[in-house]
């Protein structure tokens, strides 16, 4: 099963970031804040505004920073995804 987002929606999956302190201690998931860096899995066609299609800024494979508590979390085929609006994406990580 695949996800095909509609309008200006974007499907992302959170990137697991292993954090190590300066002294070499690896932080567990419970000790870390919710990660905000995600990888774009699928992109909708864009939103209609004033009768014109507004193109999407992000593309599949981009690493992005999302708003902290944005989107709708879903689980499909044992994997976790988040569907966010393009406006919930704050930056593209290069």
Are 42 and 7 in contact by the 8 Å Cβ rule? The answer is no
**Confidence band of 4 (pLDDT split at 50, 70, 90):** very high
Are 35 and 15 in contact by the 8 Å Cβ rule? The answer is yes
Using CA atoms, how far residue 5 sits from 17, 24, 45, 84, in Å, is: 26, 40, 8, 9
Q: What digits encode the pLDDT tens for the residues 29-75?
A: 554 555 689 999 999 999 998 999 999 999 999 999 998 888 999 99
Q: Which CATH number fits domain 9-93: 1.10.630.10, 2.30.33.40, 1.10.10.10, 1.10.274.10?
A: 2.30.33.40
């Amino acid at each position: 099963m695949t996800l095909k987002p509609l309008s200006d929606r974007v499907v992302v999956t959170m990137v697991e970031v292993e954090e190590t302190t300066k002294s070499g201690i690896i932080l567990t998931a419970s000790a870390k804040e919710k990660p905000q860096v995600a990888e774009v899995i699928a992109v909708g066609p864009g939103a209609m505004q004033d009768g014109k299609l507004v193109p999407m800024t992000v593309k599949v494979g981009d690493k992005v920073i999302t708003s902290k508590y944005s989107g709708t979390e879903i689980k499909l085929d044992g994997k976790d995804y988040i569907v966010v609006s393009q406006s919930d994406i704050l930056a593209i990580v290069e």
